[in-house]
Amino acid sequence: MMDDANDALTTDIGEDTSADGILALPQAAIAERLRKAGLRPTRQRVALGALLFGGEDRHVSAEILHAEALSAGEHVSLATVYNTLHQFTGAGLLRELAIDGGKAYFDTNTSNHNHFFIEAEGELMDIPGDSIRVDGLPEPPEGMRVSHIDVVVRLVPKS
């Protein structure tokens, strides 16, 4: 199902642009992707989806996406942005990363991969999925399995 949803992103790119001027997917392609993920394509979901999925994979916070939406003329509350990001995550369209316990970032790349976190800038960067190996994991408790492992390598400038 996710492959079908991702396929919708690779076809039929139009001339619409996002707040950053990046080539964005037409609203029909975003609406179809939302439907395939089991979400009703409301106007606000489609608008936020166009900002999220209209270019390269990226990492955003709710605050960043909210600012982009306002710049694009989309009148949406920060609470709606948070709710939509969590709905997209629940539908498998995004991956949520909690940094420092309170700060959440959302990744449009849902594949198995890890991250660098540049602490001074609050910026996440992808690390290819096969670059880090985790050996010696403990056996999960009875009835449980490991679904995935998130590794965040924190970076600071050299002294």
Same domain, 82 and 124: no
Q: What is the pLDDT of residues 116-131, one digit of tens each?
A: 999 999 899 999 777 8
Query: What would the DSSP string read from start to end of the chain?
Result: -HHHHHHGGGS---S-B-TTS-B---HHHHHHHHHHTT----HHHHHHHHHHHSSS--EE-HHHHHHHHHHTT----HHHHHHHHHHHHHTTS-EEEEETTTEEEEES--SS-EEEEETTTTEEEEE-TTS-----PPPPPTT--------EEEE----
Same domain, 140 and 91: no
Mean pLDDT of the chain: 84
Q: What is the pLDDT of residues 36-68, one digit of tens each?
A: 999 999 999 999 999 999 888 999 999 999 999
Domain range for residue 26?
Answer: 2-99
Confidence of residue 159 (pLDDT cuts 50, 70, 90): confident
> Does residue 20 form part of some domain?
yes
> Does residue 107 form part of some domain?
no
Q: Which two tokens stand for residue 25?
A: 């997917």
Same domain, 61 and 15: yes
Domain count, the chain: 2
Confidence of residue 23 (pLDDT cuts 50, 70, 90): very low
pLDDT value, residue 70:
96
> Does residue 34 form part of some domain?
yes
Same domain, 69 and 125: no
What predicted TM-score, i.e. pTM, was given to this entire model? 0.77
Is pLDDT above 70 for 73? yes
> Does residue 35 form part of some domain?
yes
Q: Which residues of 19-52 are buried (b: 16+ CB within 10 A; e: fewer)?
A: beeeebbbbebbbbbbebbebebeebbbbbbbbb
C-alpha 62/C-alpha 104 separation (Å) is: 8
Is pLDDT above 60 for 22? no
Same domain, 118 and 149: yes
Same domain, 17 and 47: yes
C-alpha 154/C-alpha 11 separation (Å) is: 36
pLDDT value, residue 21:
41
What CATH number should be reported for the domain holding residue 95? Answer: 1.10.10.10
Same domain, 92 and 48: yes
